[in-house]
C-alpha cells in the first residue's frame, strides 16, 4: 500500500485570519450594542454601590456633611464628581475591552471584533477616539451600507469584523502574540 503524499496546507497566521474576516453588518453591531448595555448597566450598578459606600464612610468620618441632602443618593445625584466617576467607568469599560481583546462582552456573543486593518488590536488612544465619535451608537448607521465602516471606525482608523466560530473561541486577553505562540508550539 503506497503512502499518500499529504502536503500540509500552509496555516494562516492569526493576523491573516483576522484580516480575512468580513466587515460586520449594522444588525450584528446593534445586537452587540444591546448586550453591552446590559453588561454596562451591571458594571454601573456595582460602581454606584462602591460610590454609596464611599459617601457613607466619608460622612461617618466627618469628611463630608450630608445634612443639606435628603439622603446619600441625593448627595450623589447632585455631585459632578459622581458623574465624572461614572463616565470614567463607561470609558474604562469600552476602552479596556477594545484595546486588550478587541471585543466587549456583547461583541464576543455576536462574534464581532474591533481591530486595525492588519488584524492587530486597536490602541487605547484609538479606542478613546472610537468611543468619543460614536454618538452613543448612532455612528453605526453608516454600516447599513454594504462593506462600509461606521463613522467611529473611520475616525479611529479601525474596522469591526465578524469572526468565524474558531477565531471567536480562543480564550484569554493576551492578544495576538499569545495565539501565534500557541500555533507555533503545535
Sign of CA pseudo-dihedral 154, 155, 157, 163? negative
Please identify which residue in the block is written with the cell numbers 495576538. 176
Residue 182 lies in a domain: no
How many distinct structural domains can be found in the chain? 1
With respect to residue 31, please indicate whether it lies within any of the assigned structural domains.
yes
- pTM of the predicted model, to two decimals? 0.81
CB 29 within 8 A of CB 113: no
Residue 5 lies in a domain: no
Q: Is residue 114 part of a domain?
A: yes
Residue holding cell 454618538? 135
Listed as ranges, residues in the chain with pLDDT below 50 are: 1-9, 172-174, 176-180
pLDDT score, position 162? 94
Helix axes of 124-132 and 80-100: crossing angle, nearest 10 degrees = 120
- Report if residue 53 sits inside a domain: yes
Q: Residue 9: inside a domain, yes or no?
A: no
pLDDT of 9: 42
| Cβ contact 182:166 at 8 Å | no
Show the 3-state SS of 122-136.
Answer: CCHHHHHHHHHCCHH
Owning domain of residue 64: 20-172
Amino acid at each position: 500500500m503506497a503512502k499518500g503524499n499529504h502536503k500540509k496546507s500552509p496555516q494562516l497566521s492569526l493576523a491573516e485570519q483576522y484580516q480575512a474576516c468580513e466587515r460586520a453588518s449594522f444588525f450584528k453591531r446593534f445586537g452587540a450594542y444591546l448586550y453591552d448595555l446590559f453588561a454596562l448597566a451591571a458594571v454601573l450598578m456595582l460602581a454606584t454601590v462602591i460610590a454609596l459606600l464611599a459617601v457613607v464612610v466619608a460622612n461617618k468620618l466627618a469628611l463630608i456633611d450630608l445634612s443639606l441632602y435628603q439622603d446619600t443618593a441625593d448627595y450623589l445625584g447632585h455631585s459632578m464628581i459622581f458623574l465624572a466617576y461614572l463616565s470614567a467607568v463607561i470609558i474604562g469599560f469600552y476602552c479596556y475591552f477594545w484595546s486588550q481583546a478587541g471585543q466587549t462582552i456583547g461583541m464576543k456573543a455576536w462574534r464581532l471584533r474591533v481591530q486595525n486593518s492588519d488584524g492587530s488590536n486597536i490602541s487605547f488612544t484609538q479606542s478613546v477616539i472610537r468611543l468619543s465619535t460614536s454618538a452613543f451608537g448612532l455612528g453605526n448607521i453608516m454600516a447599513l451600507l454594504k462593506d462600509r465602516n461606521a463613522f467611529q471606525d473611520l475616525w479611529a482608523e479601525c474596522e469591526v469584523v465578524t469572526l468565524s466560530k474558531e477565531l471567536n473561541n480562543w480564550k484569554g486577553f493576551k492578544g495576538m502574540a499569545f495565539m501565534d505562540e500557541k500555533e507555533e508550539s503545535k
